[in-house]
Amino acid sequence: MVLISQRIFLETIKKYCLAHDIAIEIRSGGWLLIMTRGNERRLAIGYDIGLNSAVAHQVANDKSACADVLASAGVPALPHTLVLGAKLSKHIPGSDSLDAIQLLLDRHPLGLVVKPNAGTSGELVFRVTTRAQLETAVARILAAHPSLAISPYVEIEDEVRVVLLDGRALIVYGKTRPSVVGDGVHSLRALARAATTEDQFKIITTEHDVAALDAIPPLGERRLLNWRHNLDAGAEPVLLADGAAREACVALAIRAAQAVGIRFASIDVVRADGAWKILEVNAGVKMEALGRRHPELVEAAYGSALDCLFG
């Protein structure tokens, strides 16, 4: 397991501070950073270096609120419906109604995606197609989080992350989901076990039923192992070349950042049914997976943000 102190984010900031005569205090196991240069004192927590306003940060970290803000600004985005847990539902009567949630499921035959309203890293994200699955997902999430968000499931053809600073794209990369190619002999389970880490394999086994895992893919047939483009679940970052797709994603990400009023963010753009839409806006810019492949790009991106932070 990678220790917090070994995060690429932390190591990059330490390197920047050393090069710019900035004193740095590392607290909370590396989760909180206190940076000081002369009379200037700056804080970074998690993956947020402190460039964004409190409101922009909170809106970006609230999936349903962010979707509402984007819709209000006319920015194409996947809708997210808020569902509150027992402690909060009294403030919005009916917001915890399973019957109301069932109506969403009835309107979307491909199913729903249920996830924490303020979660990250793809934890506790479920695709549901039945009421029983829906109730289980809601119960599991609300046992750990005060609220959740529900969006219609769509077949995502491509997912692209745009790292923006003050309306300028610093890095643009796609997320390639893990896959295997059938050999006509081994089951999907065996192929997946050989091609993934133990943690990734555990995630994959929850994404497929037993029959699908035990089936033997035909020789030469490629099978995706995950319906999510999540880097922590095994997807690989691939830099996006110049072209129409890159231009479209950057333009849409800039519109989303302007709508939220956020300066430094990583914005996920997805292509579904041939159209690009915003999936999420992330105030914490996490580039651990990309940093293992392109450390110079990640260092330059964080460096640009820190240049702005220290003027």
pLDDT digits (tens, 9 = 90+) for 236-245: 889 999 999 9
The pLDDT confidence band at residue 177, using thresholds 50, 70 and 90, is confident
Q: In whole angstroms, what is the distance from residue 61 CA to residue 55 CA? A: 10
- On whether residue 120 sits in a domain, the answer given is yes
Indicate if 83 and 149 belong to the same structural domain: yes
- The pLDDT tens digits of the residues spanning 50-77 come to 999 999 999 999 999 999 999 999 999 9
- On whether residue 144 sits in a domain, the answer given is yes
Closest by CA position to 160, among listed 239, 68, 233: 239
Are residues 47 and 286 in contact, defined by beta-carbon separation less than 8 angstroms? Answer: yes
- How many structural domains are present in the chain? 2
227-249 as b/e: b if 16+ CB within 10 A: bbbbbbbbbebeebeeeebbeeb
- The pLDDT tens digits of the residues spanning 10-25 come to 999 999 999 999 999 9
Q: What is the CATH number of the domain that holds 95?
A: 3.30.1490.20
Q: What is the mean pLDDT of residues 29-36?
A: 94
Q: What pLDDT does 101 receive?
A: 83
Closest by CA position to 141, among listed 121, 174, 119, 169: 119
- On whether residue 116 sits in a domain, the answer given is yes
Question: Model pTM?
Answer: 0.85
- On whether residue 170 sits in a domain, the answer given is no
Residue whose pair of structure tokens reads 């997912």 in the numeric block: 159
Q: What is the mean pLDDT of residues 274-297?
A: 94
Of 223, 255, 284, the position where a domain reaches its end is: 223
- On whether residue 109 sits in a domain, the answer given is yes
- On whether residue 55 sits in a domain, the answer given is no
Indicate if 197 and 143 belong to the same structural domain: no
- On whether residue 21 sits in a domain, the answer given is no
- On whether residue 176 sits in a domain, the answer given is no
Q: For residue 143, give its domain range.
A: 79-153
Residues with Cβ within 8 Å of residue 82, at least 6 apart in sequence:
64, 65, 92, 95, 117, 147, 148, 149
The pLDDT confidence band at residue 258, using thresholds 50, 70 and 90, is very high
The pLDDT confidence band at residue 86, using thresholds 50, 70 and 90, is low
